[in-house]
Amino acid sequence: MKAIIGLGNPGREYAGTRHNIGFDAVTAISDKYNIRIDTHKFKGLVGQGYIGGEKVILVQPQTYMNLSGECVRELKDFYKLNTDDILVICDDISFDVGRMRVRGKGSAGGHNGLKNIIAHLGTEEFTRFKIGVGEKPDGWDLADFVLARFPKDEEPQIRSILKKAVEAAECWLEYGTQKTMNLYNINPPKPPKQKKPGMQDAKADEADNKAETPAEQ
């Protein structure tokens, strides 16, 4: 059995917020495979089904973000899962909206949900999909930003990245973390900037079209 856990906060007031993109990704997987997430268990909402012949449990912890590890640990202990059977999907403010980074291990990078999971599992070695929700604008409180909803003009990017997250989860289930990283960590090039008078064209084109490499968390 494999577990796919999307992080977020329970309650209608948090639905559709940046911090709940993990919930949204798991919902997208459940919709595609008709797996109903409607059973209260392990301090979360869970649903079980099959994806590509693999038995899967989909989970949305109901503990609020900062205590997500309580749900994950109960789930792991009950099913006697290894950490490589666990995939966590969460938001990340260091990536632009519509970006995703697959990692097989790593620190919490300031994300309280990941921090609590690491504390409860006693290891950083579990796969996570970090979905970009954009950088906090100057003057915004971080909590206000991540608990805000996406504006209308970002909705197409959100639909696209959720579809990509479903495809990446399918890849992870069938092929594992390394191949998923190889296929889904390709960074799109930055849009070319307007060249200023006096710049050397060759150097400007070379710099402007380099692929962006975000800092790892």
User: Between β-strands 100-103 and 127-132, what pairing exists: parallel, antiparallel or unpaired?
Assistant: antiparallel
Instruction: Output the CA angle 111-178-76, nearest 5 degrees.
Output: 55
Q: Which of helix, strand or coil describes residue 129?
A: strand
Residues 165 and 38: their CA atoms lie apart, in Å, by 21
Q: Let me know how long the chain is.
A: 217
Residues 180 and 182: their CA atoms lie apart, in Å, by 5
The residue behind tokens 């948090």 is 14
Active-site residue (options: 19, 40, 111, 120): 19
Tell me, yes or no, if 40 is annotated catalytic: no
Collect all residues with Cβ–Cβ distance below 8 Å to 198 and sequence separation of at least 6.
Answer: none
Catalytic residues: 19
